[in-house]
Amino acid sequence: MSVTYYFISDLHIGGEEALSVCDFEDELITFLKRLEHEDGNKELVIAGDTFGLWEYMHVKGPEKLNAVIKQFPRIFEAFRSLGKTTKITLIPGNHDYELACYDDCVEILKPYNVHLEQVTSIIREVGGKKIWIEHGMQRDPFNSMPQFGNPFAQPVGFYITTYFVGNAGLYSKLGRYNWLKDLQSVYPNELVPSWLLSNYFYKEMNPILRWLLLPFLLLFGLSVFVYAGAVLEWLGITNTNIFLNNFIFSSLGLVGSLLQLFLIINAVLFVVALIVAVPLFLISRDVRRTLERFNILVDEDNLNVQKEENYLKAARDVFEKDPETVIFIYGHTHQPSLTKLGERVVINTGTWLKRLDHVPARLLYLPGIFVPSYCLNYFKISEADGQIVIDYGIYEKDHGQELDLLQRMLAARAGVDDKEPIPRRTVLGFSEA
């Protein structure tokens, strides 16, 4: 009897303090219960980063897994119930790498009917063909394990995650809006500095100071226009006699006087900024070129393309080595996608974490805005009439009103998703061998 497979990944369940809350707990339980009542022979495969074990700073080894179970008993009871009718398979990712290091983790998960395979990749069969499944951290130099299964051989990403994301969970509640916990939702990671600046300006900055600054920022463009026109009139290039004539401001009374004061202050600030800008520009350009040489700073869109290309290359290698493999599945990068390579398919299972899409502010000299959303997605792969059918499903979740009025007004667009939407159904015409 053929098996129907369901694939998800990157749940990142667990962590200390603010990270001990799972935003999508109800939706995940609903998904697991729905699978429980599906007919047929089924397997749920969670392709890594099921748990956020790296996010624990004060618990070690297998006790991290026990800590997750204590935090989320409803989820594990749902696993236990689903496991009576459906095989549940986990493979380790980088954030739950301890699962690969301790055999105790296999035993801890058994009572919940969860089968842990302590390997970097697994193979499943459908319609006489093969599916390659991995988490994908082995393609990422910062998160590739130097000696898989050794708990003392950790990649650079472990230290970054534990001490930055872990501390973010500990200190998030000290902020005005408990936003620091969403650090792990920022992707690519190179956007973290922009995200920190954005949250400081829109959430942490004293509101009085922010609203005092806004008029100067809003009128900055007008100031440049007015004083450029005044310079042109003073040099005799134009004879409009509009900008040097104070009649416009005086006719507006008090409003005109305030506007003129703002313009004068902005002009002074502009001159100072212009003087400082030249050396800062030269220094920043040199720093940027240095970071680009080390591949630390690249364009956001190009960075995503580069990372995706690493996995497409890995998929091509797998397909070439084994022509019977027709589907390559990975996670890790949190960007759901389905890409066709000829008659074969590469799938990124995405994440159930909150997503933060970076959009520019309408006033480009203000910090960008990170728009929240959820994409609680899964892929279903089955065989029907000699064909392999890939179904794509999403559970809707409202992210709430996390942006304040100012952010909503300044956001240039509601979100960023320039990629082609994933089709609800994709059919591969392979007949059973």
Tens digit of pLDDT for each residue in 338-363? 999 999 999 999 999 999 988 988 87
pLDDT tier at 214, thresholds 50, 70, 90: confident
Percent of the chain with pLDDT over 90: 51
pLDDT digit string (tens) for 285-336?
A: 776 677 666 555 555 555 566 778 899 999 999 999 999 999 999 999 999 9
Average pLDDT over residues 44-48: 97
Q: Does the pLDDT value for residue 48 go beyond 60?
A: yes
pTM value surpassing 0.85: no
Q: Does the pLDDT value for residue 52 go beyond 70?
A: yes
The pLDDT mean for the chain works out to 85
Q: Using CA atoms, how far apart are residues 90 and 116, in angstroms rounded to an integer?
A: 5
Q: Does the pLDDT value for residue 243 go beyond 90?
A: no
pLDDT tier at 67, thresholds 50, 70, 90: very high
Domain with CATH 3.60.21.10 in the chain: 3-202+300-428
- Predicted local confidence at residue 227, as pLDDT: 66
pLDDT digit string (tens) for 69-113?
A: 999 999 999 999 999 999 999 999 999 999 999 999 999 999 999
Contact residues for 61 (Cβ-Cβ < 8 A; gap 6+)? 98, 101, 102, 104, 151
- Predicted local confidence at residue 386, as pLDDT: 86
- Predicted local confidence at residue 301, as pLDDT: 54
Q: Which of 47-51, 191-195, 216-220, 305-309 has the lowest mean pLDDT?
A: 216-220
- Predicted local confidence at residue 415, as pLDDT: 47
**Which 3 state secondary structure label does DSSP give 408?**
helix
Q: Which of 77-86, 251-260, 419-428 has the lowest mean pLDDT?
A: 251-260
Q: Using CA atoms, how far apart are residues 141 and 161, in angstroms rounded to an integer?
A: 15
Contact residues for 9 (Cβ-Cβ < 8 A; gap 6+)? 46, 47, 48, 49, 50, 93, 135, 331, 332, 349, 350, 351
- Greater pLDDT, 242 or 59: 59
pLDDT tier at 193, thresholds 50, 70, 90: confident
3-state helix, strand, coil in the chain (%, to 5): 45, 20, 35
Q: Using CA atoms, how far apart are residues 157 and 134, in angstroms rounded to an integer?
A: 18
- Predicted local confidence at residue 118, as pLDDT: 97
Q: Does the pLDDT value for residue 432 go beyond 50?
A: no
Tell me how long the chain is.
433
DSSP string, 154-222: --HHHHHIIIIIHHHHHHGGGSSS--GGGGGGBSSGGGHHHHHHHHIIIIIS-HHHHHHHHHHHHTHHH
- Predicted local confidence at residue 277, as pLDDT: 62
**In the CATH hierarchy, which fold is given to the domain comprising 3-202+300-428?**
Purple Acid Phosphatase; chain A, domain 2 (3.60.21)
- Predicted local confidence at residue 254, as pLDDT: 72
